[in-house]
Structures are given as C-alpha cells and as structure tokens.
Amino acid sequence: MEANELKAVEGTVLEAWCGVLGLDTVDPDVPFAALGGDSMRAVRVLSRLWRELGVELPVHALGNDTTAAELATAVHARLNGQAA
C-alpha cells in the first residue's frame, strides 16, 4: 500500500511541476532546473503542494538538482510523520 501512496504523491508532484513549468509532461528523474525551474517556480510548486496535500516543506527541499521523484519521496515522508 505504501508504494501506491508514494505513486499517488508522485502524480501530484508531477502535476504541480507541469502546471508551474508550463509543460505537458515531466520525467520524474530529470532535475527541476533542467526543466526550466528556478527559485520563484520552486516556491510556487511548494505552495501548490501545501494547498493540495497539506504538507509544508522548506524552500531548500526543491533545489535545482532535485527530481520530482526525490521531492515526492520527501513529501511522502512528511505526510507519514517523518522528517523530510
């Protein structure tokens, strides 16, 4: 069941990245900056995740080299009461 939960979180993260970056699809293993992400877009992604999932992450959680898969893992951990 945890794998399904992580997959659902990853889907939400990917939707947030697509919406903020203006892309149709995002490879979950490509770093944020390589897709055109910057600090302002990172704040928008994290704000969207807070609104949609109720999880608050520090801005440094979404660095230039962070992938959607890595961010999804951090969000999933935070949702399950673990430090991200």
What pTM value is reported for the model? 0.91
CB 62 within 8 A of CB 21: no
2-79 CATH choice from 2.30.30.40, 1.10.3720.10, 1.10.1200.10, 1.20.1440.130: 1.10.1200.10
pLDDT digits (tens, 9 = 90+) for 23-40: 999 999 999 999 999 999
Position 61 scores a pLDDT of 92
3-state secondary structure the chain: CHHHHHHHHHHHHHHHHHHHHCCCCCCCCCECHHHCCCHHHHHHHHHHHHHHHCCCCCHHHCCCCCEHHHHHHHHHHHHCCCCC
Q: How many Cα neighbours within 13 Å face the side chain of 66?
A: 22
pLDDT digits (tens, 9 = 90+) for 43-78: 999 999 999 999 999 999 999 999 999 999 999 999
Whole-number Å distance between alpha carbons of 40 and 59: 10
